[in-house]
Amino acid sequence: EVQLLESGGGLAQPGGSLRLSCAASGFTFTSQDMNWVRQGPGKGLEWVSSVDGTGAGTNYADSVMGRFTISRDNSRNTLYLQMSNLRAEDTALYYCTRNAGLDSWGPGTLVTVSS
């Protein structure tokens, strides 16, 4: 069974940083692209970033380009999202999702950016 479990969310100040993690299990992690998708309070879904199976190929939404960095550790079956220079509008539930088709989702980790 595919399992994705995000962690690392919490309260951060504007301009601050957080690192999100997603522990993956139940599938061959190295063979799958991975993604982060977020959902602001009461809002719709927003794709944030994707990384290919090797970690070499990455893509970002314009709203996070230059501030967020996606990466993965295939030896630990873990996906990361390093978030810096955080803004109030980054407040959201952050989901880890599997492959280009987003076929599996974790429960999410909540990030709140506030002073």
Partner 1 sequence: DVVMTQSPLSLPVTLGQPASISCRSSQSLVSSDGNTYLNWFQQRPGQSPRRLFYKVSIRDSGVPDRFSGSGSGTDFTLKISRVEAEDVGVYYCMQGTHWPRTFGQGTKVEIK
| 32 forms part of the interface with partner 1 (CB under 8 A) | no
Amino acid at 89: E
Q: Which of 59, 69, 84, 91 binds partner 1 (CB under 8 A)?
A: 59
**Which of these segments, 11-19, 21-29, 79-87, 96-104, binds partner 1 (CB under 8 A)?**
96-104
Q: Which token pair is 101?
A: 């088709």
User: Could you say whether residue 107 binds partner 1 (CB under 8 A)?
Assistant: yes
Q: Strand 78-83 to strand 92-98: parallel, antiparallel, or no bridges (unpaired)?
A: unpaired
103 interacts with partner 1 by CB under 8 A: yes
User: Is 102 a binder of partner 1 (CB under 8 A)?
Assistant: yes
The pair of three-digit structure tokens given for residue 7, joined into one six-digit string:
């962690």
N-to-C CA span, the chain: 40
Rounded Cα–Cα distance for residues 51 and 33 (Å):
6
* Residue 71 C-beta: closest distance to partner 1, Å: 18
Alpha carbon distance 69, 46 (integer Å): 16
Residue placing its CB nearer to partner 1 in the complex, 1 or 115: 1
Residues that bind partner 1 (CB under 8 A): 35, 37, 44-47, 50, 59-62, 95, 100-108
